[in-house]
Structure 1
Amino acid sequence: MDGESQTPLLVLAEHNDADLERLLSDTETPFISRMTAASCIELNLLYKLAAPAVMVYLINNAMSMSTRIFSGQLGNMELAAASLGNQGIQLFAYGLMLGMGSAVETLCGQAFGAHKFDMLGVYLQRSSIVLLVTGIPVSMIYIFSKPILISIGQSTSMASAAAVFVYGLIPQIFAYAINFPIQKFLQAQSIVAPSAYISAGTLVVHLIISWMMVYKLGLGLFGASLSLSLSWWIIVVGQFVYILRSDRCKATWRGFNPKEAFDGVWEFVKLSSGSAVMLCLETWYFQILVLIAGLLDNPELSLDALSVCSSVNGLLFMVSVGFNAAASVRVGNEVGAGHPKAAAFSVVIVTSVSFVIAVVEAGIVLWGRHVISYAFTSGERVANAVSDLCPLLAVTIVLNGIQPVLSGVAVGCGWQGYVAYVNVGCYYVVGIPLGFLLGFHFNLGVKGIWSGIIAGTGMQTLILLYSTFRTDWNKEVEKSNKRLDKWDHANLLKK
């Protein structure tokens, strides 16, 4: 390639996503040069989104992990109870709220790409209303967590301790209801760094509050979980203050408007429900792993080992969730802006980067498999059990480098209903029954249960890969235009 043709490509690589679509459509430029320049543009856009998003999710997960660490320092029984309360009950609310909040992700991402900025604030208000109302029946599950856990086979002592932990998490439900819509509202505008700074500051406050409640005030498990709820509310308040004061949100947030917020709420509920089903089926899938492990012989050791592995997996999973958010924003913005080639290219780049990072993480976990558990508890038996589970943890981490990103693409395009059907088949028809068979019939214990879970995840990942890379992105642009017209409040008022 000559010097005259190189310069425009270098200049183009410094521009934005509109340039990406033009570059990918330029068939006169040599393929390698086109892909190199396009990769520079996409990686730059991806870095600005994914890096702070990963930081936000890592910090938020670190708060939850630190709560389990504080609980674990009280004893192995407390660690097992915190794990059961977190994985068995709290993840139910997390999956439901995050899933329903992803409706905002689809609509805000595509509306922002289509320059319908005023609709973002309307979607934020509608979603917050829907999620706050949903939080009321969810809180009943927390209140009656003890009999629920006993009814599914947990011991009375374990269920009682887990219920104490869960009671302190009730305020967190309603923090989720506001936080997730705010988070998606900001991410759709590529405003991610402020949330990272707010979360980082909150983590420091959280550690101080946790130390005071657990050790100084002697509130034990209840104090550990209550401090986590308070910390989530600090994040919510911080982000909302940013929206009110930031010039970057002036076009998208124009204050509360009850008429527009409640107009079309029922349609929003239906879209949110589809989103919730998709993500809940994924979140509950690993939640069921912990519940099943509680039915094994010596459940305390199984739950302790799983608590450590799930904490490590959860922390590293946040990296993939950050890429999930970046994929959703990039695909949603490009589809909404009418850029099919850029949307397809974004999928390839974000999936490749996330996969490479996941492989590196899995290698580090295998390298440190004998010492990981000592960050949570000093028990040698737990350390040996964790070391034995680490190969399965490594496989899970690698799969998590791909699957969440593809789910982010699905959210960006609004495919939640389709993915929900895939999840039902792979997770609940294949994964869980296979896990039961391996764990109980073949006496492989927790390793057998987890192996079945991995099989279901692997099948789901392959199906999503096949579906994503066979997508007609021109049709996705057409669907986005129809969806935005339907949801545009101006059109609704005309009707």
Structure 2
Amino acid sequence: MLSELKIQRGLALPLVAMNLTWFVKVAVTTAFLGRLGELQLAGGTLGFTFANVTGFSVLNGLCGAMEPICGQAFGAKNFRLLHKTLLMAIILLLLTTLPVSFLWLNVDKILIHFGQKEDISAVAKTYLFYLLPDLVVTSLLCPLKAYLSSQSITIPIMFSSALALALHIPINIFLAKAKGIEGVSMAIWISDLIAAILLVLYVVVKENRKGEKWNEGGWWDQRVEDLLRLLKLSGPCCLTTCLEWWCYEILVLLTGRLQNAKQAVGVIAIVLNFDYLLYSVMLSLATCASTRLSNELGANRPVAAYQSAYVSLAVSTISGCFGALIMVGARGVWAPLFSHEKGIITGVKRMMLLMAVIEVVNFPLAVCGGIVRGTARPWLAMYANLGGFYLLALPLGVVLAFKAALGLSGLLIGLLVGMATCLALLLVMVVRIKWHEEADKAHILASDGNLETVNKTRICRMQQLYRDAGEQWSCSYVHSEYSSKKQAKQGSKVLGFPTCPAKLTLH
């Protein structure tokens, strides 16, 4: 367990740093928009929100399908599958940018249709027009990050993100002064392009070294089965991400319909800004859980996968409690950083207490999503999110906020109940996982469907489960994970191994 904890720490910390750079980048962009004027701030912020909801959430979600495929392929040392999955994911994301671009080019009409003012909508369209290249850059950057993180390579991702952030500030200073809001928008995709170029250089240089993975090939070895496998996983991964992102946006929209809406929207915006900081941590833990689990399943080590899953859950629970304590401790100093209005400061102090309870649930919920994604079953998280957020959280929040007159507290209580339900559903699913079966499925995935290899592996594992202490079984396919017959029987109960048939010939 301690060794697994050390592995996850080394994997998660760079991911946390990388995700935090995204938050800082958004804050820097918002600051430069604010310096241009109130109209530019409103239009640019609205445009960026629209971009997240309709574009970046979709691309990030689709890219989530790479985690189980690449993670399990790396565990099985199938580098050809790694290579062709990277290329297929880039092509899939590039194709997805076409309908997204159409939406962005018509954003002014969409916003006006939903009641936004024409001047703000026009600024939002200008902002998104100059942000269009970022769709192409993100279609390259996201798969590269997933490709490397699935191999537990996270340090280069962290350094490339940090360097891109460091250059983002001077680029903003120059372009904001020269081109106004167009320049602020351009600075985003330019800094993303820098990060993408750095990662491309890293992959090409490292994998072209003698004995590295480049010569394994597979880059253009795509089959229809490979594409269907990617599409089958990318849909649920995309919906899982989008359903959660959209729920928060709907929550903000509902807040705008409360009494004293101006103050309530200010309160929820400030509270969610702190939540975004913690979200960068929980997202890293979820990615770490998915990577570790898929690597171990691909390597045909169900015991190690089982341990990885429960270490991840334990870390997420502790992290959630710690994050809640930080939120409670910071509630007195956080609001004054954004506003000096007494009503907003008081509201933030009160809502951050409730939001702290939500974080205790949110952390393990995110990691449970990572676990089911690592087992290549992201639709479980999709159904849980659909039921918890949209069939329970939002309807209950509306009733409590408007019918019971609880206001913003009612919306957040509804969110808490919905998240707790999601967590309960996913925990049941995680506990019921049959780890040996998942290892077999992962081996099929990672070996491109070679059933003969999978069957040999299954027989060898059954031999090992029932060996006597001190006896040696000759098996060229899998190394033993148990040191005694007692451990084997315990493993069969926990992991769900089938009973070894009496007629099986052991050799």
Query: What is the TM-score normalised by the length of structure 2?
Result: 0.81
2:175 to 213, 233, 246: 213
Where does residue 388 of structure 2 map in the other structure?
426
Looking at structure 2, the residues matched to 459 and 466 of structure 1 have their Cα atoms a distance apart, in angstroms, of: 11
Where does residue 92 of structure 2 map in the other structure?
130
Whether the aligned pair in 1 keeps the contact of 2:208 and 2:214 (CA below 8 Å) is: no
Inter-CA distance 272–199: structure 2 relative to 1 (3 Å threshold): same
2:221 to 229, 245, 260: 260
Report the alpha carbon displacement of residue 448 of structure 1 after superposing the two structures with TM. 2.4
SS at match of 2:315: helix
Looking at structure 2, the residues matched to 366 and 464 of structure 1 have their Cα atoms a distance apart, in angstroms, of: 27
**Equivalent position amino acid for 1:314 in 2:** Y
Where does residue 202 of structure 2 map in the other structure?
242
Where does residue 53 of structure 2 map in the other structure?
91
Whether the aligned pair in 2 keeps the contact of 1:320 and 1:354 (CA below 8 Å) is: yes
Q: Deviations over 1:409-430 (max 9, x none)?
A: 1111111122212221111111
Whether the aligned pair in 1 keeps the contact of 2:149 and 2:291 (CA below 8 Å) is: yes
- Aligned-pair Cα RMSD in Å: 2.7
1:474 to 411, 436, 439: 436
Moved more, 343-352 or 300-309: 300-309
Moved more, 233-242 or 302-311: 302-311
Inter-CA distance 287–473: structure 2 relative to 1 (3 Å threshold): same
Alignment of structure 1 residues 201-350 onto 2, 5 Å: 201-214=163-176, 216-217=177-178, 219-220=180-181, 222-247=182-207, 251-254=212-215, 259-261=220-222, 264-297=226-259, 299-350=261-312
Looking at structure 2, the residues matched to 270 and 330 of structure 1 have their Cα atoms a distance apart, in angstroms, of: 22
1:357 to 315, 319, 324: 319
1:115 corresponds to 2:77: yes
Whether the aligned pair in 2 keeps the contact of 1:88 and 1:288 (CA below 8 Å) is: no
Report the alpha carbon displacement of residue 376 of structure 1 after superposing the two structures with TM. 4.0
Looking at structure 2, the residues matched to 483 and 97 of structure 1 have their Cα atoms a distance apart, in angstroms, of: 23
SS at match of 1:368: helix
Looking at structure 2, the residues matched to 449 and 159 of structure 1 have their Cα atoms a distance apart, in angstroms, of: 28
Looking at structure 2, the residues matched to 475 and 398 of structure 1 have their Cα atoms a distance apart, in angstroms, of: 31
Q: Deviations over 1:367-406 (max 9, x none)?
A: 2213313444555554344333212332232222211111
Whether the aligned pair in 1 keeps the contact of 2:80 and 2:218 (CA below 8 Å) is: no
Looking at structure 1, the residues matched to 129 and 340 of structure 2 have their Cα atoms a distance apart, in angstroms, of: 27
Moved more, 333-342 or 418-427: 418-427
SS at match of 2:64: helix
Where does residue 28 of structure 1 map in the other structure?
none
SS at match of 2:138: helix
Where does residue 29 of structure 1 map in the other structure?
none
Report the alpha carbon displacement of residue 49 of structure 1 after superposing the two structures with TM. 0.7
Whether the aligned pair in 2 keeps the contact of 1:68 and 1:79 (CA below 8 Å) is: yes
Whether the aligned pair in 2 keeps the contact of 1:105 and 1:411 (CA below 8 Å) is: yes
Report the alpha carbon displacement of residue 288 of structure 1 after superposing the two structures with TM. 1.8
Whether the aligned pair in 1 keeps the contact of 2:80 and 2:216 (CA below 8 Å) is: no
Report the alpha carbon displacement of residue 183 of structure 1 after superposing the two structures with TM. 0.8
Where does residue 53 of structure 1 map in the other structure?
15
1:63 corresponds to 2:29: no
Whether the aligned pair in 1 keeps the contact of 2:388 and 2:418 (CA below 8 Å) is: yes
Looking at structure 2, the residues matched to 467 and 96 of structure 1 have their Cα atoms a distance apart, in angstroms, of: 25
Query: What is the TM-score normalised by the length of structure 1?
Result: 0.83
Looking at structure 2, the residues matched to 105 and 51 of structure 1 have their Cα atoms a distance apart, in angstroms, of: 18
Q: How many residues align?
A: 449
The answer for unaligned runs of 5 or more in structure 2 is: 454-507
Report the alpha carbon displacement of residue 451 of structure 1 after superposing the two structures with TM. 2.5
Where does residue 43 of structure 1 map in the other structure?
5
Q: Deviations over 1:303-343 (max 9, x none)?
A: 33333222221121111111111101100001111111111
Inter-CA distance 389–145: structure 2 relative to 1 (3 Å threshold): farther
Report the alpha carbon displacement of residue 169 of structure 1 after superposing the two structures with TM. 3.1
Whether the aligned pair in 1 keeps the contact of 2:62 and 2:238 (CA below 8 Å) is: yes
Report the alpha carbon displacement of residue 201 of structure 1 after superposing the two structures with TM. 1.1
Report the alpha carbon displacement of residue 364 of structure 1 after superposing the two structures with TM. 1.9
Q: Deviations over 1:241-297 (max 9, x none)?
A: 111111488744459977424754354333322321222222222122223334445
SS at match of 1:387: helix
SS at match of 1:401: helix
**Equivalent position amino acid for 2:202 in 1:** Y
Inter-CA distance 79–303: structure 2 relative to 1 (3 Å threshold): farther
Looking at structure 2, the residues matched to 83 and 399 of structure 1 have their Cα atoms a distance apart, in angstroms, of: 29
SS at match of 1:370: helix
Moved more, 400-409 or 248-257: 248-257
Looking at structure 2, the residues matched to 336 and 75 of structure 1 have their Cα atoms a distance apart, in angstroms, of: 53
Whether the aligned pair in 1 keeps the contact of 2:400 and 2:406 (CA below 8 Å) is: yes
**Equivalent position amino acid for 1:239 in 2:** L
Inter-CA distance 201–409: structure 2 relative to 1 (3 Å threshold): same
Looking at structure 2, the residues matched to 394 and 168 of structure 1 have their Cα atoms a distance apart, in angstroms, of: 37
SS at match of 2:221: helix
Whether the aligned pair in 2 keeps the contact of 1:86 and 1:166 (CA below 8 Å) is: yes
**Equivalent position amino acid for 2:435 in 1:** W
Inter-CA distance 290–399: structure 2 relative to 1 (3 Å threshold): same
Looking at structure 2, the residues matched to 275 and 86 of structure 1 have their Cα atoms a distance apart, in angstroms, of: 22
The answer for unaligned runs of 5 or more in structure 1 is: 1-38
The structure number with the bigger radius of gyration is: 2
2:406 to 444, 456, 461: 444
Looking at structure 2, the residues matched to 446 and 165 of structure 1 have their Cα atoms a distance apart, in angstroms, of: 31
Looking at structure 2, the residues matched to 166 and 378 of structure 1 have their Cα atoms a distance apart, in angstroms, of: 31
Report the alpha carbon displacement of residue 487 of structure 1 after superposing the two structures with TM. 6.3
Looking at structure 1, the residues matched to 83 and 245 of structure 2 have their Cα atoms a distance apart, in angstroms, of: 28
Report the alpha carbon displacement of residue 459 of structure 1 after superposing the two structures with TM. 0.9
Whether the aligned pair in 1 keeps the contact of 2:112 and 2:121 (CA below 8 Å) is: yes
